[in-house]
Structure 1
Amino acid sequence: MTFSFPECLQNGEKVVFFMPEEKEVAKVILSEIPDENLKKILFVAHGDLEILFSKTKAQVSYYTDKGCRYGETLFDKLEYQVKTFAPTACVYPGPYKPQFLYLALVSGAVCRVGFDCAKEYPFLNLSLHPLKTISPARMMARYFTKGKKG
């Protein structure tokens, strides 16, 4: 049976992408997403990735380890940015961080995608299983460029 990836990612609608903190994983994701798609994505990324994003035209909301807890000023700013971006989808490749799962839920996005994330329902509502031949980061990035996967 052929699996069709959610239309909210195929059709180039607005997406919030919670970027993994590992620089190599983030680099793979950014290298795979075409520049024209970057304008429809709001990345939520750790401040350590700022240099990586500086070479792109991506929209990025940065956080730090110290200022990103529920109720803190930086977290409130992230929540405001995510909500006002009004995404149709959120992509959360992990690892588990409850504050970002909360942001995915309150974003208003109907499609909230993660990997092997059934235990994170209702924060994430579509659980994918990564292929053994390709990393989750590369798999997610390719969906933005190719749309359907079989």
Structure 2
Amino acid sequence: MTPSPYFTDTFRYFFKRFYSAPRLFQWFLRQAGEDSAAFDFPNILKDHPKTLTFLPKDLERANKFMRAMPDAWFKNMLFCTHESQHSLISSRRSHAVYYSDKECRFGEPVFNEIQRKIQEFAPQVCLYLDDPFLPRLFLAKTSGAPCRIGFATENYYPFLNLSLHRDNKSEAQTISEYYGVG
């Protein structure tokens, strides 16, 4: 049995690393809290609300998304992304919290710092473009954003509470339409 990559290497989380996938999902959900605030979609996206965006670790995918987004979209934005994306984020003069592969595990001091920074930012919308990874889904849920959007992420409710489908459009085109910047 392969241990889960979700936890820091301490004895406190040793046994949790061997939980089954459904049990891990439920554990993270209990930690995040199951309640969610109400929101009015798509009106919540008007006027460029404070948005937390989880970019994919894949540089090509993230770059494609960022290049397709108009400059107006970057207003009131905080990115949570892998440290390899630093030049991509800085080229758009945006703000971000960065993590490395080891630092984005539950229980790591940097993970706790990322969570604190996200909560201080107090986003109204969370956009999750990354591959499903329970600690980052946990961060999305605990961000405090009432509207947490993913693409084809029905299986990750209530971490993400709105699942969009692209309908032959890119993620960037879909988001641009809803934000009214395109």
Deviation at 1:39, TM superposition (A): 3.3
Match of residue 96, structure 1, among 132, 147, 150: 132
Q: Does 1:72 align with 2:108?
A: yes
The gaps in structure 1 that reach 5 residues or longer are: none
What SS class does the counterpart of residue 78 from structure 2 fall into? Answer: strand
Match of 1:134 among 149, 162, 169: 169
Q: Which runs of 5+ in 2 are unaligned?
A: 1-39
- Give matches, 1:106-125, under 5 Å: 106-125=142-161
Task: Kindly state the Cα deviation for residue 138 of structure 1 after the two structures are TM-superposed.
Answer: 4.2
Shift in Å at residue 143 of structure 1? 3.7
Q: Report 1:12-51 matches (<5 A).
A: 12-51=48-87
CA distance in 2, matches of 1:25, 1:141: 17
**Matched length:** 143
Helix, strand or coil: the match of 2:91?
Answer: coil
C-alpha RMSD over aligned residues = 2.0
Change (3 A) 1:144 1:24: farther
Higher gyration radius (CA):
2
Measure how far apart 1:107 and its partner are. Answer: 0.8
The structure, 1 or 2, with the larger RCO (C-alpha pairs under 8 Å, 6+ apart) is 1
- TM-score, normalised to structure 2, is 0.71
Q: CA offsets, 1:97-150, max 9 Å, x none?
A: 10111111111111001111111111111111122x223344335544538xxx
- Runs of 4+ aligned residues of structure 1 deviating over 4 Å after TM superposition are none
Amino acid at match of 1:128: L
The alpha-carbon deviation at position 24 of structure 1 amounts to 1.8
Percent identity, aligned pairs only, is: 37
- The letter of the residue matching 1:72 is E
Residues 63-122 of structure 1 show CA distances to partners (whole Å, capped at 9, x for unaligned) of: 100111111111011101110000111011231110111111111111001111111111
Would the alpha carbon gap of residues 30 and 143 (structure 1) be closer, same or farther in structure 2, given more than 3 Å must change?
farther
**Deviation digits for residues 3-54 of structure 1, max 9, x if unmatched?**
x962222320100000011112211222233334323010011111112122
Distance 1:145 1:135, change over 3 A: same
